[in-house]
Amino acid sequence: MEESQTVNNPQEVNQPIQTPIENPVPTKLEVKPKKNSGLAVILSFTTIIATLIAGFFYFQNIQLRDELAKKIEIASTPIPTATPNEIEDLITYKNDDYNFSFKYPKEANLVEDDCVSLQIVGPTQTEATEAFDGLYLNFCPETLVDQTIDEWIETDISGDIEVIKAKSEFSLKTYIAYTYETLGLMQQKNIAIQSPDSESIIVVITDITQDPTNQGYKEIVDEIISTFEYFN
């Protein structure tokens, strides 16, 4: 016969055995933000490009400013030209048939035919083309037949020639002279000068000088014309 076990403490019956659990102390985790390496590379590349572009425009502006300053300096610098008093730099031409003379700079090329032509070819002038750069001055003597100098000019500007500037009388030294501008194949300035010894003799100066590079050709033309004179 089995012996019954005596329960000394009824509260201990069916009581689960509890194992003490230590509550862990929560640690504060340091969360580091992830770096977007792709975005950083793009920003760095964009910064470099922007810097290069800014540098390019900066140096370009400096270059343009320097070029403009040089152009202004060239334009404002007077170009030395020969004057009638500088006899050593001028050559005297004399026409014994019509008794007129003038002085011209030694660098000019003189060709004598029916007219006397002076040329100084400009730096941009090309061959076999119209005159667009250089000094081009003609002295053409004319013998009037039953005409006055005024009537001869009227005949000269008749036809298809367009008159840019109407004729006007002026005095060149002591000579009676007329100036007028016409446009035919080219635009030209004309000066007709009458001989003081014979009303039937005139010399017509035709100027088609062009000076796009500011060589001082027009000033030289004025100096040459100022030396013109008739002699006995």
- The partner residues of 176 in beta bridges, in order of sequence, read 171
Assign 112 to helix, strand or coil: strand
Classify 128 in phi/psi space as left (phi over 0), alpha (psi -120 to 50) or beta: left
Do 71 and 93 fall into the same domain?
A: no
Do 117 and 205 fall into the same domain?
A: yes
Indicate whether 226 belongs to any domain. yes
Beta-sheet pairing, 175-183 with 187-194: antiparallel
Indicate whether 51 belongs to any domain. yes
How much is the pLDDT for 3?
Answer: 47
Do 120 and 213 fall into the same domain?
A: yes
Do 48 and 94 fall into the same domain?
A: no
Indicate whether 18 belongs to any domain. no
CATH assignment of the domain containing 205: 3.40.1000.10
Indicate whether 21 belongs to any domain. no
Do 197 and 99 fall into the same domain?
A: yes
Do 69 and 144 fall into the same domain?
A: no
Q: Which residues of 178-209 are buried (b: 16+ CB within 10 A; e: fewer)?
A: bbbbbeeeeebbbbbbbbeeeeebbbbbbbbb
Which of 18, 46, 77 is the C-terminal boundary of a domain?
A: 77
DSSP 82: -
Candidates 71, 224, 55; CA nearest to 139 is 224
DSSP 11: G
Do 92 and 190 fall into the same domain?
A: yes
How much is the pLDDT for 65?
Answer: 52
d(CA 141, CA 165): 22
d(CA 27, CA 46): 42
How much is the pLDDT for 41?
Answer: 63
d(CA 152, CA 200): 10
How much is the pLDDT for 77?
Answer: 38
Number of domains in the chain: 2
Do 62 and 108 fall into the same domain?
A: no
Indicate whether 214 belongs to any domain. yes
**H/E stretch holding 45:** helix 37-76
Question: Can you give the residue range of the structural domain that contains 66?
Answer: 36-77
Instruction: Render each residue's pLDDT in the chain as its tens digit; 232 residues.
Output: 444 444 444 444 445 555 454 555 454 445 455 555 666 666 666 777 767 676 655 555 555 455 544 443 333 334 344 443 444 589 999 999 999 999 999 999 999 999 999 999 999 999 989 999 999 999 999 999 999 999 999 999 988 889 999 999 999 999 999 999 999 888 999 999 999 999 999 999 999 999 999 999 999 999 999 999 999 8
Do 55 and 124 fall into the same domain?
A: no
How much is the pLDDT for 176?
Answer: 94
Do 63 and 140 fall into the same domain?
A: no
